[in-house]
Structure formats: structure tokens, C-alpha cells
Amino acid sequence: MKRIATIQDFSCVGRCSLSVALPIISAAGIECCGVPTAALSNHTGFSTYYNRDLTDDLHNFGSKFSELGITFDAIYTGYIASIEQMDFVEDFINRFGRDGAPVFVDPVMGDNGMLYSQITADYAQKIRRLCARADVITPNLTEAFLLLGEDYRESLSDSDICEMLKKLADTGAGAVVITGISKGSQIGCSAYDGAGFHHVFTEKQDLFCMGTGDIFSSAMLAALVREKPFPRALDIAVRFTEEAVKKTAADPDRRFYGVNFEQALPTLIRLMEE
């Protein structure tokens, strides 16, 4: 069984980061070790939250992994709580990634043209370095513009998107997936894997959901670790995210802060076995 480490925060309430990566990657049949960058009462999209930064603890986790000789088949990073932690993450990849272990970076910084609370311009600058050494990066449109140092725009042609993908790949990442692209009544992602472009779109649901990016990235990376070909991994992630959003839309008690991905896990398991 493959074992991966995912480095991101644990938010008790508001499905995101570790609380979605762990169940999704486990359901995909991969051992998932969550390395928490911070512990939050709830994610930062709420009007208030408590945030305990775990930078010092991260160094202690690392020392124990070294002592125990623990290594991982892949490393996946999400929300990193501070710029200082970025150095830890780079060091973690060098020390604990097995030979050839792929590195997946979801450069979590914002959505809908806005930065999440606590994310600064310096943060965007620093995460570029991490993206440059990644095998796959999965920014949403907002994050893709931040990585390129360009102003956020919404109306983009297919060739604009392809140009963005190429520019991001030129900065060093092996493959680039831009998520959350809207095209009329469709929503989906576009990607460049060094060999060619891929576009996977589906019918948009009439619902705004937070946390779809974390669900998409976890499913995509799990599919790649399960050695699905790149276009198939994209397709699995889009189908799973679509199903989770549909389940959320059908839930009369839904909350603004998360997607009912739990109800879509049977679909993910089926897609992984096909």
C-alpha cells in the first residue's frame, strides 16, 4: 500500500484541508498521513476563528520521522499557515520523499479574485518557489493569476487559459491544472502536462460552494498516486467533485462552508476501481 504525507491545516469545522484530504485519500486506498500546519476552530472563511500555528511542532514531527526512518511515496501540500513554514515544507520534501516521490502542491491562497484571510503578497511570492519544484500544481483561477503576478480576470478565452497554463509550466512545475474555470453553463478545469492540453468540463450547479478545490485536488492526486493516466485522473476528480456538489445542492440543511463530499465517496471508490 502506498503511503503519502499531506501537509496542510486541520480546521475542526468547515470541510477543507486535512478533514477532506484524509477521508478522500483513504477511500482511494492510499495510506494518508496528515501533517498539520495549524489547528483552527473553523476555516478562515467564517466571521471569526481561533488559529494555533504549529510551526514549532512541525519541526518536532520532522525530528521524530527522521529518528524513526519514516519516508513517503508522495508529498501533497495544501494550506500552509505562514511563510516561515514554507522552508519547512521544502526541507520535508528533501528529507522524507522517497526517491522519485512525486510532489503535489495546491497553492491555497484565495478564491473569486480575493485572498483568504492571513495570506499576503509575500506569501504568493514564496509559494512560487515551491510550485517550481512540484510535479503537479492545482491552483484555482485566482491562485493561477497570483502565481503569475497578474491581475485577476474572469472572462478568458480558451487560448488565454492555454497561455496561462504554459506560463505556469515554464516556471518549473511538471504539470499544471487550473481548477474552477467557468464557461457559460459549464464548470471544470484545464491542464497542461508537458505533452498536451486537457480540458474537462461539466454542467455548473446553481450553488456557490466553498472547499471544492481541496476536494478536487485530493481526488486528483490520489488518482495519480494510484497510477491512473493524467487525463483519467482529471476526469475522476471532476466527476467526484461534480457528484459532491450535486449531493450538496440536494441537501435542504446544507451549510455555506462545505461540500457533502462524504455522500460522493462511493462514486470515488467506484471510479478508482474502474
Q: Contact residues for ligand PXL (CB under 6 A)?
A: 9, 11, 16-17, 40, 43-45, 79, 108, 116, 211, 213-214
- CB atoms < 10 A from the CB of 198, how many? 18
Residue 210 vs 233, nearer CB to ligand PXL: 210
CA distance 178 to 92: 25
Q: Which of 30, 31, 91 is nearest to 58 (CA)?
A: 91
**Residue 180 three-state SS:** strand
Total length of the chain: 274
Asked if residues 91 and 59 have their Cβ atoms less than 8 Å apart, the reply is: no
What is the smallest separation between the CB atom of 85 and ligand PXL, expressed in angstroms? 13
Residue 18 vs 93, nearer CB to ligand PXL: 18
What is the smallest separation between the CB atom of 68 and ligand PXL, expressed in angstroms? 28
What is the smallest separation between the CB atom of 79 and ligand PXL, expressed in angstroms? 4
CA distance 236 to 176: 16
What is the smallest separation between the CB atom of 86 and ligand PXL, expressed in angstroms? 15
Residue 16 vs 101, nearer CB to ligand PXL: 16
**Residue 71 three-state SS:** coil
What is the smallest separation between the CB atom of 141 and ligand PXL, expressed in angstroms? 14
For 7, phi and psi rounded to 5 degrees?
-105, 105
Kindly state the cell numbers that stand for 57: 511542532
